[in-house]
Amino acid sequence: MELNKICPQCEIKASLSEISPEQIIQNAKNLPFKDGITSSDELFKRRMNACLNCPACISQTTCLHSGAWCAFRARILQNTCPFPGGSRWN
């Protein structure tokens, strides 16, 4: 069976024509705060700052190591940064 190979970065760029990085971040910020489930606004801001300055952040939206949108990963409290060698969120 032959697998169709798609460049993840190309696929991400194509999907960005429909939604901007700012919209993704705003949608994650708009998730209602639930104690023990979502990160506080302050923690979210610190995590996003680390993500946006990370060399593994693709197109200001996606983590190369998890494949997830950085903003939604940062908004969920229990998530961790998957950067090899240690979290960049510390």
The model's pTM is 0.79
Mean pLDDT of 21-41: 93
Q: Which long-range contacts (CB under 8 A, 24 or more apart) does 85-90 make?
A: 88/50, 88/51, 88/54, 89/46, 89/47, 89/50
What's the domain count of the chain? 1
- What is the domain range of residue 67? 18-75
Is the pLDDT assigned to residue 2 strictly greater than 50? no
- Diameter over CA atoms, the chain: 48
Residue 13 domain-assigned?
A: no
Residue identified by tokens 């979210």 is 44
pLDDT at 42: 95
In-domain check, residue 88: no
User: 87 in a domain, yes or no?
Assistant: no
Question: 3: pLDDT confidence band, cut at 50, 70 and 90?
Answer: very low
Answer whether residue 32 is part of any domain.
Answer: yes
